[in-house]
Structure 1
């Protein structure tokens, strides 16, 4: 089974400045066990994954768990997003953001909060993953919404 590419742009292969766009691919079932240690390290992977789920629960009071897709980015980054539900109502108490977002966007937001929180707690090994995710967010068609939620 190959990666399922997520098409996010009218011309997914090229950015406005002519450079290559960052693409996102859902990790196939047979590679899921390798995803967390490969991207977040054996020491941080469980803490990171639990942090993403905890952030989702904090951001979306109606969230009750479920299956998540793992997504790899062509720039080396990665994120998780809930699968099987179309949208989530997200509320960020710290900045007043409130809105309904697609599951992918909710996962990007939860992943970014989890990475940022772990960096503040001394998990410096995750800095590059955070920067790669921010780079992807900058190209995402719902960048403005994601940035308002993270601000």
Structure 2
């Protein structure tokens, strides 16, 4: 069995709006982005806002993550407690948001479900996969 490695590419500042609009249309600023921020706050009392990087994945996925190079204390409802880097917190918050927004009956819900699976596939190869998976399961 061959395992495909999913890679992440940082989206340049000049392309951020175009990428978000192409992938999610107007629902990015109205629904997805605020939901991701809410889950970051929910997961970590250390998170206090700030600039986020955008990443596209080689499998067609997308995530965003706080730009700060610090670790965040994370506490999830499933009992997980630990520390995640800003990048791993972003992956985790995006997975929560995609899952949450996928439980509707529209095209956006379907898109969120697809992005959840693409991002989870990436998370399996992330250096902090154990923490990410423990926080979402």
What's 1:132 paired with? 118
- Checking the alignment, whether the CA contact within 8 Å between 2:67 and 2:86 is kept in structure 1 is yes
Equivalent position to 1:147, from 110, 124, 133: 133
- Checking the alignment, whether the CA contact within 8 Å between 2:84 and 2:128 is kept in structure 1 is no
Q: CA-atom RMSD, angstroms?
A: 1.4
Equivalent position to 2:55, from 41, 59, 71: 71
Structure with greater contact order relative to length (CA < 8 Å, sep ≥ 6): 2
Greater helix proportion: 2
Moved segments of 4+, more than 4 Å: none
User: Structure 2 length normalisation: TM-score?
Assistant: 0.90
Q: How many Å apart are 1:19 and its aligned residue?
A: 4.4
- 1:120–1:106 Cα change, 3 Å: same
Between the aligned partners of 1:24 and 1:85, the Cα distance in structure 2 is 17
Runs (5+) with no aligned partner, structure 1? 1-16
Paired residues, number: 133
Runs (5+) with no aligned partner, structure 2? none
1:4-83 paired onto structure 2 within 5 Å: 18-39=2-23, 41-46=24-29, 47-83=31-67
- 3-state SS of 1:139 partner: coil
1:1-53: per-residue Cα shift (whole Å, max 9, x none)? xxxxxxxxxxxxxxxx55441111110111011121222x2142121000000
